[in-house]
Structure 1
Amino acid sequence: MTTQIRLLKDFMWWMLFVGFLGYCGRASAQVLPEYSAFPKNSIGLQLGTQGVGLQGSSAFGRVFNARIGFNTVPDITVQYNGRDLGLNRTSVYGIVDWQPLYGNADWLSRKWYVSAGISYYFNNTLYREGIGTVPNYYIYMSKLRPYIGTGLGNMPLSHSIGLRTDFGFFIPISSPTSTYDDRAEKVSSGLRGLLPGMNAGLTLYYRF
């Protein structure tokens, strides 16, 4: 928990610095038309399947947008089938968005984008309470993960507040390992293998 708090503080200072640079360059930056899916610059709060975190963005080249972010699920434990199930996850990521239908006037063309990027998980651990002869065990999941996804952006809620949605996957590039037997196989096969990397989230942001 202490490490996560320190990382979050460092990230927040870094985000403030990026925001300051964006503000300084605002006067000379190109103003994008209203049918763009991206605000020129933004900083916001993200909530979704990857946890809660901060996200900053900056649009460039009319049809592109760059994002950096920080997410965490700080040591939560829930009851699943009468036993403890814990998750400890903290990550940083960088994503580039592309708006393929830029220039069209319909609502979907003005909001829809596709994304690609990469993330690194400082922690990505699943804890499971044992039962019977099975001891308590941990599953360690892939830390470096490329990302593919899609979303809807630049949905204004007020003059300076907007909403962005995302859906995609942080794809594992290595198999999970377990401290007991072959339990890692349960989170790497079929649909179960996709769920830990699923990114479904909302970002409420301030644009500037």
Structure 2
Amino acid sequence: MDPGSKAFIPLAEEYGKAGMWDEAAGVLEDGLKASPNFIIAMVALGRVYEQLNQPAKAIAILEEAIKLSPENFRAHRILAKIYMSQGVKEAGLRSCGVILAANPQDVEVLSLRATLEALAVPAPAELAPPQPVIESVQPASESAVTMEKVEEPRYVDIMQRDRPEAATDSATITPEKKSATVIQLEQWLSLIRDRRLDRTASTNNNP
């Protein structure tokens, strides 16, 4: 097997189907270290970050992806959704425009565009409302309590858009139960890493 194989993509997909988004993110991040600028992996990682409710990370990797591939419709679709949820009008409309230029009848993107167009552009004062000057410092314990109450929402699996029942299936699978496919792919990747290490060691021993 080619040591430079991009077999980590199917493994990340299997993790996504099982709702194991943290594991999927780890696989894709490691894969991109070995294969930087691999567009498919970059877009997949953007979708995983979206599922993990990490919009800043998702936007960063997806914006990088469309710099390398300006007409990557999947990346633009995810960006449009994230920008809509964040209330970022202009960037969201830009991504919608790229998709609609190729497919003016895309119902989902038309709906996204309509929602974005309805967003009011906030004035600078509304973007960052002035806070009253408070001389006393807020106790650290209160900040800790506030942070503990924040929970990141998890979403159903969207990695397979064409399967209507995919969301129901992924919701019922617990992270502890790994499918045979996941186990096989993990073993596959382990073999790739071992061979890569062997090749590196051989090169170092034979200058």
TM over 0.5: no
Name the TM tier (shorter chain). Answer: under 0.3
* TM-score, length-scaled by structure 2: 0.20
Q: Which has the higher contact order (CA 8 A, sep 6+)?
A: 2
Question: Which one has a larger percent strand, Structure 1 or Structure 2?
Answer: 1
* TM-score, length-scaled by structure 1: 0.20
Question: Which one has a larger percent helix, Structure 1 or Structure 2?
Answer: 2
- Which structure is larger by alpha-carbon Rg, 1 or 2? 2
